[in-house]
């Protein structure tokens, strides 16, 4: 049973930052109205509540939040079950740091590849870096069912949208990345993940 409330999420159906918030909502079974917004075609209500008109934007009654990591942490505190952050401060700090590192190391490359203004040589280099980096961390996925964790966390919610988009990014992982490929198969099969996908995202694979 989903939680019923007046929660609305303005979301770009193709964007990986919006996707991570939809994963959190789906995994927590929170019944939010997902309002799909194409870049550049912002509804007046979104412009009213978010001065940057950025996506995703979460509206919970009188509160409007933007910046995907802020939204994810709010949802974690507002709907604590099932938890997507560990209990202890040290572990929580590590989780936040991993989210930051994904943002800095991988999301920056994804954004460069997907940006229509990027020059082709820069794209080629970014693809190579992302593929090598993901292949390099692949052994970390061998020991635990989730990324460095026994439980699904916000780290997975940030990572899965990138991994789902690898075909669109023009990246194929090599056979030595088997632990990461196995992780992808397992997590893409989750009901919460499947429920998070927009129609546009389903067509990516």
The band of 2, judged by pLDDT with boundaries at 50, 70 and 90, is very low
Cβ proximity of 71 and 25 under 8 Å: no
What are residue 29's DSSP bridge partners? none
Secondary structure (3-state) at 120 = helix
Q: Is the peptide bond before 156 cis (omega within 30 degrees of 0)?
A: no
* Averaged confidence pLDDT in the chain: 94
Entry pTM: 0.94
For the CA atoms of 129, 160, 149, 79, the dihedral, rounded to the nearest 10 degrees, stands at 140
> Cα separation of 172 and 186, whole Å?
18
Radius of gyration, CA atoms only, the chain:
17
Q: Please state, for a pLDDT cut of 70, what percent of the chain lies above it.
A: 98
Q: What is the pLDDT of residues 113-151, one digit of tens each?
A: 999 999 999 999 999 999 999 999 999 999 999 999 999
Q: Mean pLDDT over residues 50-70, rounded?
A: 94
Q: Reply yes or no on whether the pLDDT at 7 is more than 70.
A: yes
Q: Band of the pLDDT at 5, cuts 50, 70, 90?
A: low
DSSP for residue 2? P
């Amino acid at each position: 049973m989903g939680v019923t409330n007046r929660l609305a999420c303005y979301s770009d159906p193709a964007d990986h930052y919006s996707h991570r918030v939809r994963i959190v909502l789906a995994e927590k079974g929170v019944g939010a109205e997902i309002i799909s917004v194409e870049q550049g075609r912002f509804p007046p209500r979104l412009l009213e509540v978010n001065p940057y008109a950025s996506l995703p934007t979460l509206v919970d009654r009188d509160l409007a939040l933007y910046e995907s990591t802020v939204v994810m942490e709010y949802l974690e505190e507002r709907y604590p079950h099932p938890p997507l952050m560990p209990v202890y401060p040290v572990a929580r700090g590590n989780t936040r740091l991993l989210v930051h590192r994904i943002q800095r190391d991988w999301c920056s490359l994804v954004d460069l590849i997907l940006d229509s203004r990027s020059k082709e040589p820069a794209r080629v280099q970014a693809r190579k870096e992302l593929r090598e980096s993901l292949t390099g961390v692949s052994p970390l996925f061998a020991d635990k069912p989730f990324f460095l964790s026994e439980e699904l966390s916000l780290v997975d919610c940030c990572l899965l949208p990138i991994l789902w988009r690898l075909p669109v990014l023009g990246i194929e992982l090599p056979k030595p990345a088997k632990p990461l490929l196995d992780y992808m198969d397992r997590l893409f099969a989750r009901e919460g993940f499947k429920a998070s996908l927009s129609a546009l995202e389903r067509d990516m694979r």
